[in-house]
Amino acid sequence: MIKIFKQESKKAAVTLIIDYHGLRKHTTYKNVTMPEGSTVLGLLEKKTDVITEGRKHHKMVVSINGISQDPNANLWWIYTINGKYVDLCADEKLLNDNDVVKWFLKVC
């Protein structure tokens, strides 16, 4: 007799912070459970109304919850993980358990 056991999928509990550069009160989502292999963009899509531009991969976030970046003011949506800047697009960066992801509008 062969027994098949379903392997429990790993999950990550993460925090998402959205800082709207003073245009709106910042939002914090704590202990968001994401499946293993989830991306920063996947987290953002799960908790917010997000608009992206770009191809299937290398998507750029242009609006979060109705607040858009402003190229004329050189104001862009940027993210950090655990306080460190990341040089990958949000759809490429994988999440780890206990990550703190912060999105904010920044003059670049």
Terminal alpha carbon distance of the chain: 63
**Cα-trace Rg, the chain:** 16
Domains in the chain with CATH codes: 35-107 (2.170.130.30)
Per-residue pLDDT tens digits for 57-107: 789 999 999 999 999 999 999 999 999 999 999 999 999 999 999 999 999
**Is the Cβ–Cβ distance between 95 and 14 less than 8 Å?**
yes
Q: Is the pTM of this model over 0.85?
A: yes
